[in-house]
Amino acid sequence: MVIIVDLIKDIPADFKKFFEQFIEIFTTKSFWEGNAKIEIIEIGPREENQTIFQLLPATNMEVKFPVLFNKTSSGTEVSFNLDIKLITGSDTKSPKLGKKMLKARLNTFEAGLNNQLSMLIKMSLDDLRTPLEGQIDETKETDPLKILKLQLAKGEISEDEYIRKKNLLEG
């Protein structure tokens, strides 16, 4: 079942960069399931508007899910679709009983996981939309001195060039 997480009204003109930044932020997210820390990794393939992620560690289930950015007339829908496969070892005494027990838990697990992933995707999109406190949003910064300092900090200009341009601006 496809879960629509968010509708983005204003996506930057450079969607590829936006998408790559989303992936970078999203793969830093994790959550706890019992005593296990669950990590999110990208397994791809990365396409124009979607990629596939997997949850690790995989114990008795393999969980993969594509995250898709779909452009619509009202904005861009962000959605995902869980693909959960049960993994059972051959060393169990009663594989059929083990499989039945896992399948019984699957619906509850899937509902909880849908909520957890929806929240993590929304958090990642929020992190992407709002610069971290103290960071300068380059697209909105108009003060020439702040822009100049940012260029120096990023290594885009040398210290000599920074001083020369600063002197010109302060003129």
Percent of the chain past pLDDT 90, that is, above it, reads 37
Q: Any idea which architecture 2-129 has in CATH?
A: 2-Layer Sandwich (3.30)
pLDDT in tens, 116-164: 999 999 999 998 877 544 444 555 567 788 888 888 777 788 888 888 8
Hey, where are the domains in the chain? 2-129, 132-171
- Is the distance from CB of 165 to CB of 144 less than 8 angstroms? no
Give the pLDDT of residue 87.
Answer: 73
State how far the Cα of 128 lies from the Cα of 12, in Å rounded to an integer.
11
Cβ–Cβ < 8 Å for 52, 150: no
Alpha carbon 96 to chain centroid, angstroms: 37
> Under 8 Å CB-to-CB from 87, ≥6 apart: which residues?
58, 59, 60, 61, 62
pLDDT tens readout for residues 81-111 = 999 887 765 545 556 666 676 667 777 788 8
